[in-house]
Chains A and B, each alone.
Chain A
Amino acid sequence: MKRAFRRLGTKISDSWTNFINFFKVANVNVKASMGLMGLGQFMYRQVGRGIMYLGVEILGILFFAIYGFQWLIGLFTLGTVQGDPWTGKDGDNSVIFMLLGLMSLILLILFITLYISNIRDVSRTSKLVLKGEKPKNFREDLKDLLDKKFYKTVLFLPLLGTIVFSVLPIVFMILIAFTNYGDPIIPPVLVDWVGMENFVRIFSMGDIGPTFFKILGWNILWAIATTLLNYVLGLLLAILLNKKIVKGKFFWRLFPILAYAIPGFITLTAFKFMFAQGGPINNMITSNGGDPIPFLTKDGTWWARGIGLLINAWLTVPSVMLLATGILSNINNDLYEAAKIDGASSMRQFKDITLPFVVFATTPTLITSFIGNFNNFGVFYFLRSTITSDGYFVSNDTDLLINWLYRLSIDKQYYSIGAAISLIIFIITSSISLIIYVKSPAYKKEDTFR
């Protein structure tokens, strides 16, 4: 930790001296651009670029003078005037304040980036001029956007979309985790920053803590059990279908693929009906004189958990099978030939050739499927989302963290607690995958296969 800080310190001082050196050698035009964006470009007669940078500076300053600065302050205060619907008094809407503040923060970062790029740009031009070349004119710039810088043109829209609909919401959610936003504190009531209070509430033994730990325990158990079950079953099925003795492989594979192709919500709803109290299975039991089994009702904790496990297997085993089939076809046949000559039994061949290879090749997907299952929303949402168990805070004994998160934030509007829980989920899943991703050789050598 200490070393990391020291390294950071030297890095900062390095870049500071670099900056000083840069400033010393910079010519008049570069310094001009430092003072007024675009000025240096004008001095090189790059009118187009100059106008654009100047325009950015003017618009930026105008924006921050009129709105942006206030909005940034709003991000910290989250509104000061309490509205009152009875008297019709308009108050501050904390959520809008937060959003606008966040937006102006992003614009500020963008502005600073453009400022730096303006200096970089003019200093690049000055180097070109020193070499005796001509600075690029505007038409050449535009041409570049279709050639050397074509990637910028293409990436513009995807980046914009991702920032608005992925980055912004996630940052917003992270911010909400540190506020008290949520029923009953919903605009027009003013929202406030509360620091770590939500996390303290989750980890302490009040109303939420016990539920959190119960759900977390079941969630981990579920993720391990269902991942292993699906993996083993899918692998066995693939190996079975890969045997030489099996004729008509295409025909046999059709059935798992059928299960794989049907939209999940259809199968899950169908299974819910199948195991319902008045569903066909219980119907058959009662008409034969038995008592209905509480498969998915409030009392059916372990029934429901087991059924969830089996249904998830029905849904995911086909994809594991397809994956393993693809991998099995990649095994070098010579290995088996050699093993046969050495007199190895088919059991031995399986143990020493097939299994290690398949396990090696599928480890990364095993991890991703573990994380997918950790956050498996669908299964228990369809089977039991209307049930609330005793001793659970807005959830039941089969809910996973992600289901709980949904019920807290959508059904009950406890946004800040929900946000804190999603942060905790992120920390759990990302630390698992980070370790794997960074250590996997496939990640390190991403470009060697090109």
Chain B
Amino acid sequence: MNDVLVHKGMNRKVKRVLGAVGIYCILLVVCAIFLFPCLWLILSSFSSTGSLYDVPGFFPESYSFDAFIKLFTDTSNYNYPKWLLNTLVIAVFNCIFSTMLIIGTAYVISYFQFKSRRGLMKSALVLSMFPSFMGMTVIYILMTQFNFVNNIWGLVLIYSCTAPLGYLVQKGFFDTIPQSIYEAAKIDGATNARIFTTITLPLAKPIIVYTALTSFAWPWSDFILPKLLLIEKDNWTVAVGLMQLGQNEFARFAAGSVFIAIPIVVLYFFLVKYMVNGMTSGAVKG
């Protein structure tokens, strides 16, 4: 009788340990799957031979900083420093303009109850359902008609002007600011503009930071629009430029990628909490 009970308890314990081991094994495999391509890229960027073909397996046989040095010094064919500069300029200005427009739109849609509000929200929804580069092909056609291609300011303009359509996450944030905060200021006779600058904006700091960082990060990873509009090599962004590197330039591609991916990854680790909030608010609001 007693033996059976002990045996049963043992059994359960063994089961639990086995379960834990199983779970950790699965986790290890999952992490390996996610880590492996990144590791491959990082190690390849330190490969001393540049081409993809020279390596018998995944990992290079000897390591050096050649790819990085070439990336920044050998600019005759692939001007990586110039691409970095272009992308930086686009990112900085897009960050400024987009953030202003998105925050303004989200605040207004959340705070004011004006007549066409519902209509505007519905139109934004419908607009977002069109395939994203349906408009881009038109912009491309028009830009070629007006000889406005090859201009990074055109890109800044298009990015910032289309940004306000993505206002929903920010609106979700403004929705959480209780109206009672505003009521007090109103009784004191403050105008809406004053309330916005002195009360709303300071309260909205986290979402402003989030918006600024995401719109700063976007030009680093977007490739469709810049590839359409920037034709000359010296006007390329990093994304367009790196895409052009063939298998013979694999180490250079890896080096260039690692160089821009590291800051973006660090950025995302900081932002991940906001991102989850944004996504879950999207889940509830539809």
Contacts and interface: CB of A to CB of B under 8 A. Distances in A.
A433 B129 contact: yes
B83 interface: no
Given A96-B145, A146-B191, A261 B269 contact: yes
B173 interface: no
Contact of B139 (A146, A165, A270, A318): A165
Given A287-B56, A442-B285, A425 B265 contact: no
Interface stretch (B73-81, B160-168, B204-212): B160-168
B23 A246 contact: yes
Q: Which of A93, A261, A266, A415 has the most CB of B within 10 A?
A: A266
A375 interface: yes
A90 interface: no
B37 interface: yes
Given A170-B134, A255-B34, A326-B276, A262 B265 contact: yes
Nearest to A366: B283
A95 B57 CA distance: 53
Interface residues of A, number: 101
A258 interface: yes
B242 A265 contact: yes
Interface stretch (A272-280, A298-306, A335-343): A272-280
A354 to B, nearest CB: 16
Interface string A228-267: 0000000001001101011000001011111111111111
B174 to A, nearest CB: 10
A270 B40 contact: yes
Nearest to B280: A326
A30 B129 CA distance: 42
Given A95-B141, A257-B268, A279-B52, A361 B135 contact: no
Nearest to A95: B145
Interface residues of B, number: 94
Contacts of B131: 375, 402, 405, 422, 425-426, 429
Given A161-B160, A255-B35, A258-B265, A263 B284 contact: no
Contacts of B184: none
Nearest to B261: A262
Given A240-B27, A323-B276, A364-B282, A280 B162 contact: no
Contacts of B129: 371, 426, 429-430, 433
Contacts of A325: 276
Interface in A306-337: 314, 318-319, 322-323, 325-327, 330
B175 interface: yes
B286 A364 contact: yes
Interface string A409-450: 110000100110010011001100100110010110010011
B181 interface: no
A261 B134 contact: no
A173 interface: yes
A173 B130 CA distance: 11
B66 to A, nearest CB: 18
Contacts of A34: none
Contacts of B221: 263-265
Nearest to A413: B141
B125 interface: yes
Interface string B1-38: 00000000000000010011001101100110111011
B108 A327 contact: no
B247 to A, nearest CB: 6
Q: Which of A322, A361, A418, A419 has the most CB of B within 10 A?
A: A322
Contacts of A263: 220-221, 239, 260-261, 264
A99 B142 contact: yes
B193 A280 contact: no
B42 to A, nearest CB: 11
Contacts of B284: 361, 364, 442
B126 interface: yes
Contacts, number: 266
B286 A443 contact: yes
* Interface of B (DSSP majority class): helix
Contact of B108 (A99, A155, A167, A279): A155
B30 A259 contact: no
A27 B213 CA distance: 56
Contacts of B34: 255-256, 258-259, 314, 318
A18 interface: no
B58 interface: yes
A157 B277 contact: no
B46 interface: no
Nearest to B16: A245
Interface in A340-362: 361-362
A150 B57 contact: no
Contacts of B126: 430
Contacts of B260: 263
A449 B56 contact: no
A411 to B, nearest CB: 11
A362 B269 CA distance: 23
12 contacts: A96-B145, A150-B196, A165-B135, A169-B136, A237-B30, A245-B19, A255-B31, A258-B34, A259-B34, A265-B242, A327-B280, A449-B175
Interface of B: 16, 19-20, 23-24, 26-27, 30-31, 33-35, 37-38, 40-41, 52-53, 55-58, 101, 104-105, 107-108, 111-112, 114, 124-127, 129-142, 145, 157-158, 160-162, 164-165, 175, 179, 191-194, 196, 220-221, 223-224, 228, 239, 242-243, 247, 250, 253-254, 257, 260-261, 264-265, 267-269, 272, 275-277, 279-280, 282-286
Given A95-B145, A364-B285, A405-B131, 20 more contacts: A96-B145, A99-B145, A146-B193, A150-B112, A154-B108, A158-B105, A169-B142, A173-B134, A173-B138, A237-B30, A255-B34, A256-B34, A269-B243, A273-B247, A279-B52, A287-B56, A364-B283, A419-B134, A430-B126, A437-B286
